Amino acid sequence: MDYINEINRLRKEKNAVILAHYYQIPEIQDIADFVGDSLDLSRKSADTSADIIVFAGVKFMAETAKILSPGKKVLIPDLNAGCSLADSCPPAEFRKFREKYPDHMVVSYVNTTAEIKAMTDICCTSTNAVKVLESIPQEQKIIFAPDRNLGSYLSRITGRDMVLWDGACHVHEEFSLVRIMEIKDKYPDAKLISHPECQKPILIASDFIGSTSALLKFTDSDSSKEYIVATESGILHQMKKQNPGKLFLPAPPIDSTCGCSDCIFMKMHTIRKIYHSLMEDKFEIDVDPVIRQKAVIPIRRMLEISG
């Protein structure tokens, strides 16, 4: 079966749109109607006129799409595509944590479950986190969740003393500075560019730190020819497409013989699964209406601040 032709036929018949994160496999990125980071995809989810959204990402992203577009059918090709960062912040535990700091505003990364968003005052992504924090009065105390590495980085660059939830992403947590330096020995002119979810030693050694989309823009505008990229390896596909004359090397994790830095959850989706999701309307994502009504507020606040 020619899955791509069938996908194209089905999305036209059903008025469906395929949204894909930069961390998807190249084949999915190439057939998607739109490819972006968490902020871009949130905007598209809110603005699309499609009846069906097929979300090639992880579950919290599909939930966000449903929160922003409750009247649309939101499908995820593999229901097991979770997120280690979102899972590191269980709602029951976070509720107790939040109760310890009643005078604190909660800023939560969009990489959280709908239940956590419902306990949040304003969401952010790595793209707009600084802008979100700058919108909050200096005297206002803040809880930042769930990524401790991003929270620590934001504290350093904004001067905000925040209470941090102790969560992390399995991809960004595992990069090895020793192995990165070994690559630097072979490619001394290569710039190390990193996502702020990485641990502090990686960030200190970096030539540039930014969100997924910021890393892509940097490699597009920067004059260097070689880069070591410390984020999920899926973004290298877009980097190579935009700059085929440049060399992009994935930063290696501590325990990997292949030198790859893949998110096991993002890589669960396949072209075949997207076809079956569209063909059979599976797997549909739904969000409890009470949770949705609470969760949509911090997301819309984020989008308003981002412009």
Mean pLDDT confidence for 18-22:
97
Q: Check if the beta carbon of residue 24 is closer than 8 Å to that of residue 270.
A: no
Helix (H, G, I), strand (E, B), or coil: what is residue 7? helix
Check pLDDT > 80 for residue 307: no
> Are 238 and 224 within one domain?
yes
Q: Is residue 259 part of a domain?
A: no
* Domain around 236: 172-250
Check pLDDT > 70 for residue 258: no
Check pLDDT > 80 for residue 160: yes
% of residues, the chain, pLDDT over 90: 92
Q: Is residue 290 part of a domain?
A: no
> Are 213 and 64 within one domain?
no
Cα separation, 183 vs 178, in Å, equals: 9
pLDDT band at 56 (very low <50, low <70, confident <90, very high): very high
CB-based burial of residue 43 (10 Å sphere; 0-12 exposed, 13-18 middle, 19+ buried)?
A: middle
DSSP 266: G
Q: Is residue 114 part of a domain?
A: yes
CATH at 155: 3.40.50.10800
CA 48 to each of CA 51, 275, 287: distance values in angstroms, whole numbers, following the listed order: 8, 20, 19
Q: pLDDT, tens digit, for every residue of 32-55?
A: 999 999 888 988 988 999 999 999
Q: Is residue 108 part of a domain?
A: yes
| Domains in the chain, number | 3
Check pLDDT > 70 for residue 256: no
Q: Is residue 149 part of a domain?
A: yes
Q: Is residue 257 part of a domain?
A: no
Q: pLDDT, tens digit, for every residue of 78-123?
A: 999 999 999 999 999 999 999 999 999 999 999 999 999 999 999 9
pTM to 2 decimals? 0.94
| pLDDT at residue number 201 | 96
